[in-house]
């Protein structure tokens, strides 16, 4: 059966993913099962999506009951789950308003449009350039792809959009020099996820905010991967002592359903007006009902546990012979194994029964936030075996 599925996939799915030779059929928490009945320990959460692991009971109850009563209605009407989720997000962050989209790249498109409108209105259409960081990742649609500071991802898709400049992470002098009257925003990830789990220094992040404040430039934080508890606080910017003007989020908020959005601060709350932006599926009631469960579970106690397990994971990891260059924050870690190719390690680990990710030349861990210490131990034992080979 599986062979037939691999063949069919090759014949009718566009070949944009280099898939592993595995058909996943079900899961619970941090464990899932493949078509041959093998149990796998999940250190990926579907790339930071399944924050509560596979098929969380409370989440299932919320989305199925919402699907059974109202699965969708256009954004021309009000729906309760969308408002409930927006209230939770604004109450927890102090941000003023939310726009709901379906993905990270869409969330970033909305932030870019907001920043450009904000700047253009201030300046008769001159202040609309956005600075992002070298090695950043903001998505795959044209605006977000242009914002992404990795030339190899833009290759063959030009012309990219005008109005973006890239600054090396950590270089405040360069950033200062790059900002001028035409700059409307600085946009950054606090941990460059796809870029290799590289966290920014507090000094640099604070420096960015200072430049923004001095020059009336918007600070956009892309929390698509770092947000919703991943780093041990609801958003990573809290740990950096920042007050961004726009925050984008996606991956973890839907618990597995497509959901993302933008949080607007004081300055940006009313920039977008009727007709300026929209998304047919944005803020879908089923996705938002699930998102409410995710938000309710992100209590201070839960986040404390994420921080402790993140620390535990990091310590255990660093005790494995050969493991080096550990970077990242909370349950979002990158590392290498000396003398080994990270892609080979991930493949070999999968054969041992543990799912890992790569990011650039690093191995990347994004376990579901509910993973237990025992499951961490078991997963790392398997990794240790691979490292020793």
Ligand X SMILES: *Cc1c(COP(=O)(O)O)cnc(C)c1O
Question: What residues from 154 to 183 belong to the interface with ligand X (CB under 6 A)?
Answer: none
Which span (15-23, 135-143, 273-281, 349-357) binds ligand X, by CB under 6 A?
Answer: 135-143
Q: Which is nearer to ligand X, 284 or 375 (CB)?
A: 284
Q: Which is nearer to ligand X, 116 or 138 (CB)?
A: 138
Question: Which residues are registered as beta bridge partners of 97?
Answer: 264
Q: Which is nearer to ligand X, 103 or 358 (CB)?
A: 103
Dihedrals phi, psi of 26, to nearest 5 degrees: -160, 170
Question: What residues from 243 to 272 belong to the interface with ligand X (CB under 6 A)?
Answer: 250-251
Q: How far is the CB of 137 from ligand X (least distance, A)?
A: 5
* Alpha carbons 362 and 381: distance in angstroms, whole number: 19
Q: Report if residue 366 touches ligand X, rule: CB under 6 A.
A: no
Q: How far is the CB of 152 from ligand X (least distance, A)?
A: 16
Q: Report if residue 284 touches ligand X, rule: CB under 6 A.
A: no
Buried b (16+ CB within 10 A) or exposed e, 268-300: bbebbeeeebebebbbbbbbbbbbbbbbebbee
DSSP 338: T
Q: Report if residue 283 touches ligand X, rule: CB under 6 A.
A: no
Q: Report if residue 137 touches ligand X, rule: CB under 6 A.
A: yes
Stretch 43-82: interaction string toward ligand X, x if CB under 6 A: ----------------------------------------
- Integer-rounded Cα Rg, in Å, for the chain is 21
Question: Which residues are registered as beta bridge partners of 345?
Answer: none
> Read out DSSP for 111-155?
HHHHHHHHHHHHHTS---EEEEEBT----SSHHHHHHSB-HHHHT
Q: In this chain, which of 224, 271, 288, 383 binds ligand X, going by CB under 6 A?
A: 224
* Alpha carbons 43 and 231: distance in angstroms, whole number: 15
Q: Which residue has the tokens 């080096």?
A: 324
Question: What residues from 90 to 109 belong to the interface with ligand X (CB under 6 A)?
Answer: 103-105, 108
**Residues lying near ligand X in the complex (CB under 6 A):** 103-105, 108, 137-139, 189, 193-194, 222, 224-225, 250-251
């Amino acid at each position: 059966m599986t062979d037939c599925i691999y063949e069919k996939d090759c014949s009718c799915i566009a070949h944009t993913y280099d898939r592993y030779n595995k058909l996943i059929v079900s899961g619970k928490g941090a464990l899932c099962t493949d078509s041959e009945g093998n149990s796998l320990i999940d250190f990926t959460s579907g790339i930071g999506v399944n924050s509560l692991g596979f098929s969380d009971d409370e989440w299932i109850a919320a989305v199925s009951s919402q699907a059974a009563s109202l699965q969708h209605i256009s954004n021309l009407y009000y729906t309760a789950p969308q408002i409930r989720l927006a209230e939770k997000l604004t109450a927890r962050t102090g941000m003023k308003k939310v726009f709901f989209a379906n993905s990270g790249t869409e969330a970033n498109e909305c932030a870019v449009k907001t920043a450009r409108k904000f700047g253009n209105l201030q300046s008769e259409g001159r202040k609309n350039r956005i600075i992002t960081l070298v090695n950043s990742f903001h998505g795959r649609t044209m605006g977000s792809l242009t914002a992404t500071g990795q030339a190899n991802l833009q290759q063959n898709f030009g012309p990219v959009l005008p109005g973006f400049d890239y600054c090396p992470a950590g270089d405040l002098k360069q950033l200062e020099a790059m900002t001028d009257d035409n700059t409307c925003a600085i946009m950054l990830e606090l941990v460059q996820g796809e870029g290799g789990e590289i966290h920014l220094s507090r000094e640099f992040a604070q420096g960015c905010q200072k430049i923004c404040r001095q020059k009336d430039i918007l600070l956009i934080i892309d929390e698509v991967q770092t947000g919703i508890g991943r780093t041990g606080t609801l958003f990573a910017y809290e740990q950096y002592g920042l007050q961004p003007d726009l925050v984008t989020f996606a991956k973890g908020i839907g618990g597995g359903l497509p959901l993302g959005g933008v949080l607007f601060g004081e300055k940006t709350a009313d920039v977008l007006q009727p007709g300026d932006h929209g998304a047919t599926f944005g803020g879908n009631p089923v996705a938002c009902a699930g998102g409410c469960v995710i938000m309710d579970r992100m209590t201070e106690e839960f986040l404390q546990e994420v921080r402790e397990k993140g620390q535990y994971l990091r310590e255990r990891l660093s005790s494995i012979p050969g493991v080096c260059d550990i970077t990242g924050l909370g349950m979002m870690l990158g590392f290498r194994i000396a003398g080994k190719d990270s892609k080979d390690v991930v493949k070999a680990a999968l054969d041992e029964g543990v799912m890992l990710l790569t990011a650039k030349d690093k191995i990347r861990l994004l376990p579901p936030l509910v993973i237990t210490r025992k499951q961490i131990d078991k997963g790392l034992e398997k990794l240790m075996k691979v490292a020793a080979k």
